[in-house]
Amino acid sequence: MNKKINSTMDKLVSLCKRRGYIFQSSEIYGGINSCWDYGPLGVELKNNIKELWWKSMVYEHDNIEGLDSSILMHPIIWKASGHIDGFTDPLVDCKKCKNRFKATDLEGNVCPLCGGELTEARQFNLMFKTFMGPVEDEANIVYLRPETAQGIYVNFLNVLNSSRNKIPFGIAQIGKAFRNEITPGNFIFRTREFEQMEMQYFVKPGTDDEWLEKWKENRMNWYHKLGLKKEKLSFHMHDKDELAHYAKEAYDIQYEFPFGRQELEGIHNRTDFDLSRHKKYSGKNIQYYDVAAKEKYIPYVIETSAGCDRTLLTCLVDAYDEEEERVVLRLSPLLAPIKVAVFPLVKRDGMPEIAVKIYNNLKMNIKAFYDDSGSIGRRYRRQDEAGTPFALTVDSETIENNTITLRERDSMNQIRISLDKIDRIIKEKINIY
Ligand SMILES: [Zn+2]
């Protein structure tokens, strides 16, 4: 069983490196644990995921606004949010081999590596700490944010007043967050530096249960739209001991990874916990005034918190397929880093000139790729592995009758289309306009 898990993930890690999706960070220096770099195709895929999320949140909802808050914030924010006191993992050390473990990961009371005696558990804060300015003392401590959500809460009044929204309304943000995880792992699934896509939806208390249900449905539909296999996605409801300190009710959207069912996104009812705490710690009157009803209240918050890197990993795992003759990434055309590849069948008879012209025209609107080296079969295989859904090949018929071969990645079917229909057909098939 474990061998199978390793082999699927290992193959994916190796494909990611080979095709330029993801590289180990600082590789020439031996790498740094759990840090990864997105290569030419990886950054395209990541941008596509973020763009689809942003569109589905900010553009499709009249009452959701975007925000990009800073990573370093006033340290009292983390006192108010509960992170300084409560964002901890219990940690034990082996007295013999000096390795460190998360107490909750261990079964029994001895070191899993050497059998040595373990220390008592101590609480270890997961926030990265640094100093602002040149003096490294207590008064200058700041934290790398462990979640983007707090940047949204502390801007609640700014966004409310400048955008003239009425409750219910939401604020969406994409950005990096940092957690000093004791046990990162599973490739880019759990890393210490990661990108979140979070939306906080402010609602009238009493309507929160209803909004939680709506957002659960909305978010699950988004993963379906990415083309992920529906049977691999499910909800997991948090029971009492799993609930975070701020949550009244919480669900995870989970995906069945080769290493087990794991969380992709959290949908939480955070109540008025965060805004109330910021009201208390800042002394500012953080409230909403409902003009029509003539009442004041602190809104409840329904949060949808997705991991961008996790979504990307899910898309790759879900798309990975092996056939007898090829490895293919069956990414949705919406997500595919390269939408279309253009090839001349051979490097003569005027074919490259026509192909370059087609490529130059396509690349103004979509990510296209031109390749004239190697056999046509090998060029197709390389694009299958890269997840490119369509390829256009110029051949001798093109010169005779102005048609071109369109090959589809998934079926490997080839049809002939006329040169003047390329734009329309590719746009229709990609469906991104
Ligand atoms: Zn040990």
Q: Which pLDDT does position 244 carry in this prediction?
A: 79
Give me ligand 1 centre to Cα 94, in Å. Answer: 5
Give me ligand 1 centre to Cα 93, in Å. Answer: 8
Q: 199 near 172, Cβ under 8 Å? A: yes
Give me ligand 1 centre to Cα 267, in Å. Answer: 38
- Region 249-276: mean pLDDT is 96
Q: Which of 285, 318, 351 is the last residue of a domain?
A: 318
- Does residue 51 lie within any of the structural domains? yes
Categorize the per-residue pLDDT at 182 as very low, low, confident or very high, splitting at 50, 70 and 90: confident
- Does residue 101 lie within any of the structural domains? no
Q: What digits encode the pLDDT tens for the residues 163-181?
A: 989 999 999 999 999 999 8
Does residue 267 share a domain with residue 348? no
CATH number at 224 reads 3.30.930.10
Give me ligand 1 centre to Cα 143, in Å. Answer: 31
Q: What digits encode the pLDDT tens for the residues 26-83?
A: 999 999 988 999 999 999 999 999 999 999 999 999 999 999 999 999 999 999 999 9
Give me ligand 1 centre to Cα 91, in Å. Answer: 14
Does residue 361 share a domain with residue 310? no
Does residue 297 share a domain with residue 338? no
Categorize the per-residue pLDDT at 402 as very low, low, confident or very high, splitting at 50, 70 and 90: very high
Q: 391 near 342, Cβ under 8 Å? A: yes
CA angle 397/398/401 to nearest 5° reads 75
Does residue 372 share a domain with residue 312? no
Q: What digits encode the pLDDT tens for the residues 331-384?
A: 999 999 999 999 999 999 999 999 999 999 999 999 999 999 999 999 999 999
- Region 378-401: mean pLDDT is 97
Does residue 337 share a domain with residue 265? no
Does residue 308 share a domain with residue 202? yes
Q: Which pLDDT does position 101 carry in this prediction?
A: 87
- Does residue 89 lie within any of the structural domains? no
The DSSP code for 72 is B
Does residue 283 share a domain with residue 184? yes
Q: Which pLDDT does position 246 carry in this prediction?
A: 79
Give me ligand 1 centre to Cα 2, in Å. Answer: 23
Does residue 269 share a domain with residue 380? no
Give me ligand 1 centre to Cα 188, in Å. Answer: 27
Residue 118 CB partners (closer than 8 Å, separation 6+) = 92, 93, 94, 95, 101, 106, 109, 110, 111
Going from the C-alpha of 365 to that of each of 57, 285, 338, 340, 432, the distances in angstroms are: 23, 48, 12, 11, 11
> How buried is 322 (Cβ within 10 angstroms: 0-12 exposed, 13-18 middle, 19+ buried)?
exposed
Categorize the per-residue pLDDT at 197 as very low, low, confident or very high, splitting at 50, 70 and 90: very high
Q: What digits encode the pLDDT tens for the residues 288-339?
A: 999 988 999 999 999 999 999 999 999 999 999 999 999 999 999 999 999 9
Query: How far is residue 44's CA from residue 50's CA, in Å, rounded to a whole number?
Result: 10
User: What range does the domain containing 206 cover?
Assistant: 2-82+139-318
The DSSP code for 246 is T
Does residue 365 share a domain with residue 274? no
Residue 104 has pLDDT above 90, yes or no: no
- The model's pTM is 0.94
Give me ligand 1 centre to Cα 111, in Å. Answer: 5
Give me ligand 1 centre to Cα 391, in Å. Answer: 54
Give me ligand 1 centre to Cα 33, in Å. Answer: 20
The DSSP code for 389 is -
Give me ligand 1 centre to Cα 34, in Å. Answer: 22
- Does residue 143 lie within any of the structural domains? yes
Mean residue pLDDT of the chain comes to: 94
Give me ligand 1 centre to Cα 236, in Å. Answer: 35
- Does residue 200 lie within any of the structural domains? yes
- Does residue 351 lie within any of the structural domains? yes
Does residue 347 share a domain with residue 305? no
Q: Which of 261, 295, 318 is the last residue of a domain?
A: 318
Give me ligand 1 centre to Cα 104, in Å. Answer: 16
Does residue 301 share a domain with residue 191? yes
- Does residue 185 lie within any of the structural domains? yes
Categorize the per-residue pLDDT at 150 as very low, low, confident or very high, splitting at 50, 70 and 90: very high
Give me ligand 1 centre to Cα 103, in Å. Answer: 13
Give me ligand 1 centre to Cα 406, in Å. Answer: 59
Does residue 374 share a domain with residue 293? no
Give me ligand 1 centre to Cα 110, in Å. Answer: 8
Q: 223 near 317, Cβ under 8 Å? A: no
Residue 386 has pLDDT above 80, yes or no: yes
Categorize the per-residue pLDDT at 105 as very low, low, confident or very high, splitting at 50, 70 and 90: confident
Give me ligand 1 centre to Cα 113, in Å. Answer: 5
> Any idea which residue has 């709506």 for tokens?
214
Alpha-carbon radius of gyration of the chain: 25
CATH number at 391 reads 3.40.50.800
Q: Which pLDDT does position 433 carry in this prediction?
A: 43
Give me ligand 1 centre to Cα 189, in Å. Answer: 26
Q: Which of 318, 350, 368 is the last residue of a domain?
A: 318
- Does residue 158 lie within any of the structural domains? yes
Give me ligand 1 centre to Cα 106, in Å. Answer: 12
Give me ligand 1 centre to Cα 295, in Å. Answer: 60
> How buried is 281 (Cβ within 10 angstroms: 0-12 exposed, 13-18 middle, 19+ buried)?
middle
Q: 233 near 220, Cβ under 8 Å? A: yes
Categorize the per-residue pLDDT at 432 as very low, low, confident or very high, splitting at 50, 70 and 90: low
| Structural domains of the chain, count | 2
Give me ligand 1 centre to Cα 121, in Å. Answer: 15
Give me ligand 1 centre to Cα 89, in Å. Answer: 19
Query: How far is residue 159's CA from residue 172's CA, in Å, rounded to a whole number?
Result: 11
Please report, for the chain, how many H helices and E strands are present, in that order. Answer: 13, 23
Residue 1 has pLDDT above 60, yes or no: no
Give me ligand 1 centre to Cα 118, in Å. Answer: 8
Give me ligand 1 centre to Cα 195, in Å. Answer: 33
